[in-house]
Structure 1
Amino acid sequence: MNGVDLFLKQIDFSKLDGLIPAVAQDYFSGEVLMLAFMNEEALKKTVETGVAHYFSRSRHKLWKKGETSGNIQSIKEIFFDCDGDSILLKVVQKGVACHTGHRTCFYSKVNNSLIAKNNSRNQDERKIDNNNKELFYSLKLLYDLIASRKGTDPNKSYVARLLNAGAEKIGKKLQEESLEVILSVISGDKDKIVYELADLIFFYIVMSVYSEVDFFAIISELKGREGISGLDEKKSR
């Protein structure tokens, strides 16, 4: 019996006539994208191909997410719950998850009066969201790349050399790059400002990796400040 079959034996398909609920979650942002159902064949296909497959209850057939739209879900991680009767897929979503054109199927929010609010957005707003998503992915990929250099040969990687040198060396680079940013801002050279800010962000990420500060911890801290006045935030320190 191979690894896939051993995994499938841990899943209980008996409670919903051979089906289990499957939640798809964005691997990078943690956003819940959709809820669908899988039978054993769909789950096996998902594991074997690395692409999400589901079972359609209305059409009574297996379907590959994005088969017609191109909005596939590439699997990064699969979890199952304590009862073995539901699945969580952490995916990299290409395009949008919802057939309505929304990023997520969960775009209707219930407010305090318990009236569902449809958070519909136009195409331009969705385009902005997708651009932000690409930027987010790029930063996460950069973080992961820098983290992969930790413990490698300092003679073969500049990042490995920095990480091996420690906080003082990395801190010195941050000081140097901060000064470069300030000087470029004073000069008014926009291209230079962009270049130096990119360097500064790079070394901030190096320091985060060295300090073993998780990327998502930084994002969570920033998200936690949404809607909070900067003046109020400073007073609370």
Structure 2
Amino acid sequence: MNIDFNKNNDGLVPAVIQDATTKNVLMLGYMNEEAFNKTKDTKLVTFFSRTKNRLWTKGEESGNVLNLVDIKLDCDNDTLLIQAKPKGPTCHTGSDTCWNEQNDENFGFISKLENTIESRVKVGDSEKSYVASLFAKGINKVAQKVGEEAVEVVIEAKDDNDDLFLNESADLLFHYLMLLQAKGFKLKDVVNVLKGREK
């Protein structure tokens, strides 16, 4: 790895720390060559502290270390992306990240959709919300709807109309997310089961 530590005339390169599992950015630090080598050798993320003017292993006092998973170098050879598994909160304030965000696994639009479903259920206006009206009919009705949508996906899979297949697939996923919430779960719970099966 040909890191250009001398590009900024201070011997330091920025190191973006990313959770290896959730892919959330946890913090930004700086490394000199010695900090980089110590990180590789110990498998604990170590920085050069500009305020302390010395090497600083994250968590050396708090115990909230960052266990090294992977290091990538950017196209200009002057910025590191470090994937790590955090033990405890990353920020000195006690927050999961230095941007005061929770380090939850996020599935992008799917997580947004789950939150929308949850908010519609909480409001519970079955006259204005399809989600609320289906939930009001009980879990058996929600489960039945998932079954109906699954059958429609199978039927469309046998035909050549990709638009219909994708639309039925979207309906199935939407109703499956509703069923998960009706049972008190979210997609992350299913993902955790799948991770447990990974070999």
**TM-score per shorter chain, which class?**
0.5 to 0.7
SS class of match (1:228): helix
Aligned counterpart in structure 2 of residue 102 of structure 1, from 95, 101, 107? 95
Paired residues in the alignment total 123
| Counterpart amino acid of residue 98 in structure 1 | C
Aligned counterpart in structure 2 of residue 222 of structure 1, from 97, 110, 113? 110
Asked whether 1:82 is paired with 2:54, we answer no
Q: Which residue of 2 aligns with 1:15?
A: 7
| Counterpart amino acid of residue 223 in structure 1 | S
TM-score (norm 1): 0.47
Greater RCO structure (CA 8 Å; 6+ sep): 2
Q: Which residue of 2 aligns with 1:24?
A: 17
Alpha-carbon RMSD: 2.7
Deviation digits for residues 199-218 of structure 1 (CA, Å, limit 9, x no counterpart): xxxxxxxxxxxxxxxxx8xx
Deviation digits for residues 29-78 of structure 1 (CA, Å, limit 9, x no counterpart): 11110001000000011111111000000111001110000001001111
Aligned counterpart in structure 1 of residue 49 of structure 2, from 33, 53, 56? 56
Identity percentage of aligned residues = 41
Distance in 2, Cα, partners of 1:38 & 1:73? 14
Q: 1:14 Cα shift? A: 1.2
Query: Which runs of 5 or more structure 2 residues have no equivalent in the other structure?
Result: 121-129, 132-148, 150-166, 172-199
Q: Which residue of 1 aligns with 2:188?
A: none
Distance in 2, Cα, partners of 1:226 & 1:23? 29
Aligned counterpart in structure 2 of residue 72 of structure 1, from 65, 68, 79? 65
TM-score (norm 2): 0.55
Runs of 4+ in 1 over 2 A off after TM superposition: 219-222, 226-232, 234-237
SS class of match (2:37): helix
Distance in 2, Cα, partners of 1:77 & 1:223? 26
Distance in 1, Cα, partners of 2:56 & 2:40? 14
Distance in 2, Cα, partners of 1:96 & 1:15? 32
Distance in 1, Cα, partners of 2:72 & 2:112? 26
Query: Which runs of 5 or more structure 1 residues have no equivalent in the other structure?
Result: 1-6, 108-118, 120-128, 137-215
| Counterpart amino acid of residue 76 in structure 1 | V
